[in-house]
């Protein structure tokens, strides 16, 4: 039997293209998304993949998903973290978190830690965190939920920096952690914007973005042959050096753990 690959955000864009690639190789693919519409598209395009619906901006739904996947899949070869939503205006989840922080930061931490057991049962397990690593993002330590002057870009680059810190804190000899920045891939990036920005992003995407099909092979190669180091950082198929302060990483992880405990008692 093929490998088991779990892809959050596996119903669109890079995640769905990767789902198709892996399913074609005979892997058992589990693709998670929040909408039935996305699930329907996945069923049409990658009928071999299994769709699981969950709103991953919800800590409770993420916890339930992790429990379900752990019970159903004793070994998971790869966990691909690709669920993301660009929020032009500030959105607050039912559990009281700024949406980008809930989905891009807390969910990724919960998935990686919650599935540690099944990952460690696989022969060469890997976590691929698709994010904006290496873009000089920063954490707003004084306002993590961006209550004061929300800006979508600030939320996005904070999430990217959070991935760098949480990847550093994860550091496991057994399950390799890969931070992968695909840089600029044509996945419908214009959709969240209003005109005239929508038109501009659409044109920029048509001119400069990489087609999804081209973005997938280097990511798939990291699943086939995970790096030997516990943490590696990649930009568009090339490894990059990035200094991350381990103390800041520990401090940030502890902060996320505390936020999680405030909901999941």
Q: What is the binding site for ligand NAP (CB under 6 A)?
A: 9, 11-15, 32-35, 38, 55-57, 82-85, 103, 130-132, 181-185, 187-189
In order, the DSSP letters of 190-209 are TTTPPTTHHHHHHHHHHHHP
Q: How far is CA 242 from CA 176, 188, 225, 246, in A?
A: 17, 29, 22, 12
CB of 81 to ligand NAP, least distance (A): 7
Using the 8-state DSSP alphabet, how is residue 101 labeled? I
State CA 167 to chain mean position distance.
12
Task: Give the nearer residue to ligand NAP in terms of CB position, either 37 or 254.
Answer: 37
Report the nearest approach of ligand NAP to the CB of residue 136 (Å). Answer: 14
Instruction: For the CB of residue 11, give the shortest distance to ligand NAP in the complex, in Å.
Output: 4
Q: Which is nearer to ligand NAP, 1 or 89 (CB)?
A: 89
Q: Which is nearer to ligand NAP, 144 or 209 (CB)?
A: 209
Closest CB 5 distance from ligand NAP, rounded Å: 15
Q: Which is nearer to ligand NAP, 68 or 174 (CB)?
A: 68
3-state SS, residue 146: coil
Which residue of the chain is nearest ligand NAP when measured via CB?
13
Looking at the DSSP bridge assignments, the partners of residue 31 are 7, 51
Give the whole-angstrom CA distance, residue 192 versus residue 105: 20
């Amino acid at each position: 039997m093929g490998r088991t690959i779990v892809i959050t955000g596996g119903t669109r864009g890079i995640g769905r293209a990767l789902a198709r690639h892996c399913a074609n190789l005979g892997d058992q693919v589990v693709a998670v998304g929040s909408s039935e519409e996305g699930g329907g598209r996945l069923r049409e395009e990658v009928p071999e993949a299994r769709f699981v619906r969950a709103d991953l901006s919800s800590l409770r739904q993420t916890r339930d998903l992790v429990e379900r996947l752990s019970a159903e899949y004793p070994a998971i070869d790869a966990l691909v973290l690709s669920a993301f939503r660009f929020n032009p205006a500030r959105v607050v989840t039912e559990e009281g978190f700024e949406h980008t922080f809930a989905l891009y930061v807390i969910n990724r931490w919960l998935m990686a830690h919650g599935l540690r057991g099944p990952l460690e049962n696989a022969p060469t397990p890997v976590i691929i965190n698709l994010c904006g690593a290496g873009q000089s993002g920063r954490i707003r330590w004084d306002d993590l939920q961006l209550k004061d002057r929300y800006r979508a870009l600030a939320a996005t680059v904070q999430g990217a920096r959070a991935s760098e810190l949480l990847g550093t804190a994860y550091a496991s000899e057994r399950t390799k952690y890969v931070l992968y920045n695909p840089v600029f891939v044509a996945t419908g990036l214009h959709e969240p914007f209003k005109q005239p920005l929508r038109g501009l992003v659409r044109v920029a995407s048509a001119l400069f973005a990489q087609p999804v099909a081209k973005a997938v092979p280097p990511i798939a190669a990291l699943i086939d042959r995970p790096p030997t180091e516990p943490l590696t950082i990649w930009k568009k198929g090339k490894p990059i050096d990035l200094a991350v302060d381990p103390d800041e990483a520990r401090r940030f992880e502890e902060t996320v753990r505390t936020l999680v405990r405030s909901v999941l008692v």
